[in-house]
């Protein structure tokens, strides 16, 4: 039950009509910004994110360069109009943290060592927020990197899982997120099944935690299929 006392699950279904483990309608597109090396759009229901990749490109100032590897920079940003009460523009503590964990989630997938002294810049913009924005942004970033032709070991796929009204669910929307008992974001290297981002808050015992991790892995597998499909369709005539 939510803090206002409203039930979030009625007759086994969620308020938007979904089954507990069902994802929202997902829409993905690549190559939406022609001035970027790679770009993408990812919608999970009412959460809309776009991402672009600039690079690999020379890194300045030069003192920031690494002689034996490239570096990855990542910015996660929410548009002021993406949320109910206007968010003041620019980085706040939340987006500073998310930018950092998103970078670490993506980094293991990229052959950065192939680009000494260079940088790969990833920009994630959340245009409309309805829960699970960081994972939607990471899915978009991964697609944009692939679209840019950056050599990658694997695609990165992310999803959220949690517990609402005592039920374990996948892909939380905004209302569920705000009233969840547990809320977890996870990203993984899709084929290797290695977790590169994990954040959780709430209160959960070990047993349920393990069930949630497995549910997240299962949900990522579904999302990965869509990512692959979108890329294959875009590049089928090469």
Partner 1 sequence: MERYALELIEKGKRIDGRKLEEFRPIRIKRDISQKAEGSASVKIGETEVIAGVKLKIGEPYSDAKDQGILIVNAEFTPLASPDFESGPPGEDAVELARVVDRGLRESKCIDLEKLCIVPGEKVWTTFVDIHIINHQGNLIDAAALASLAALLSAKVPKLDGEDILRGDYDRPLPVVFKPINITVGKVGEKFLVDPIFEEEGILNSKLSVSVRDDDNICALQKQGNGELTIEDIGKMVDIAIEKSKEIRKLVE
Among 12, 17, 203, 236, binds partner 1 (CB under 8 A): 203
Closest CB 129 distance from partner 1, rounded Å: 16
Q: How far is the CB of 209 from partner 1 (least distance, A)?
A: 6
Q: How many residues bind partner 1 (CB under 8 A)?
A: 33
Does 1 bind partner 1 (CB under 8 A)? Our answer is: no
- Rg of the chain over all Cα atoms, to the nearest angstrom: 18
> Given the complex with partner 1, which of 104 and 118 has the nearer CB atom?
104
Contacts of 6 (CB under 8 A, 6+ apart): 179
CB of 7 to partner 1, least distance (A): 18
With contacts defined by CB under 8 A, name the span among 37-45, 55-63, 130-138, 197-205 that binds partner 1.
Answer: 197-205
- Residue in this structure with the two tokens 């009233």, named with its chain if needed: 179
Residue 127, burial from CB neighbour count under 10 angstroms (0-12, 13-18, 19+): middle
Contacting residue, 86, 96, 111, 151, with partner 1 by CB under 8 A: 96
Least separation in angstroms between residue 9's CB and partner 1 is 21
Output the furthest CA–CA distance in the chain (Å, rounded). Answer: 60
Q: Which range, of 6-14, 27-35, 206-214, 224-232, touches partner 1 by CB under 8 A?
A: 206-214
Sign of CA dihedral 29, 31, 36, 38: positive
Binders in 212-231 for partner 1, by CB under 8 A: 213-214, 217
By CB under 8 A, residue 237 contacts partner 1: no
Please tell me whether residue 94 binds partner 1 under the rule CB under 8 A: yes
Under rule CB under 8 A, residue 155 binds partner 1: no
Q: How far is CA 114 from the centre of its chain?
A: 25
Question: What are the structure tokens assigned to 105, written together?
Answer: 């989630």
193 binds partner 1 (CB under 8 A): yes
Whole-angstrom Cα distance, residue 37 to residue 124? Answer: 14
Nearer to partner 1, 15 or 104 (CB): 104
- Among residues 39 and 77, whose Cβ is nearest to partner 1? 77
The residue (of 51 and 109) whose beta carbon lies closer to partner 1 is: 109
> Which residue in the set 117, 202, 221, 234 belongs to the binding site for partner 1 (CB under 8 A)?
202
Distance CA 117, CA 133 (A): 31
How large is the angle between the packed helices 133-147 and 93-106, nearest 10 degrees? 40
Contact 102, 141 (CB under 8 A): yes
Q: SS3 string of 34-103?
A: CCCCEEEEEEECCEEEEEEEEEEEECCCHHHCCCCCCEEEEEEEECHHHCCCCCCCCCCHHHHHHHHHHH
Residues that bind partner 1 (CB under 8 A): 3, 93-94, 96-97, 99-101, 104, 107-108, 184, 189, 192-206, 209-210, 213-214, 217
């Amino acid at each position: 039950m939510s803090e206002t006392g409203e039930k979030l699950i009625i007759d086994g279904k969620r308020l938007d009509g979904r089954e507990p483990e069902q994802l929202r309608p997902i829409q993905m597109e690549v190559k939406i910004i022609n001035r970027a090396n790679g770009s993408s759009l990812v919608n999970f229901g009412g959460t809309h994110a776009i991402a672009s990749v600039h690079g690999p490109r020379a890194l300045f100032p030069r003192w920031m360069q690494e002689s034996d590897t490239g570096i990855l920079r990542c910015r996660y940003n929410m548009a002021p109009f993406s949320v109910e009460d206007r968010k003041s523009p620019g980085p706040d503590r939340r987006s500073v943290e998310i930018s950092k964990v998103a970078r670490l989630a993506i980094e293991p997938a990229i052959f950065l060592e192939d680009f000494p002294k260079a940088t790969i810049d990833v920009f994630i913009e959340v245009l409309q927020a309805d829960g699970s924005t960081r994972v939607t942004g990471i899915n978009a970033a991964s697609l944009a990197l692939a679209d840019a032709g950056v050599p990658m070991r694997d695609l990165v796929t992310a999803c959220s899982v949690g517990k609402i009204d005592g039920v374990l669910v996948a892909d939380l929307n905004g209302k569920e997120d705000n009233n969840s008992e547990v809320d977890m974001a996870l990203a993984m290297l899709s084929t290797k099944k290695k977790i590169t981002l994990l954040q959780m808050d709430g209160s959960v015992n070990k047993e349920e935690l393990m069930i949630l991790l497995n549910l997240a892995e299962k949900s990522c597998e579904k999302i990965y299929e869509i990512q692959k499909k979108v890329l294959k369709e875009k590049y089928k005539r090469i």
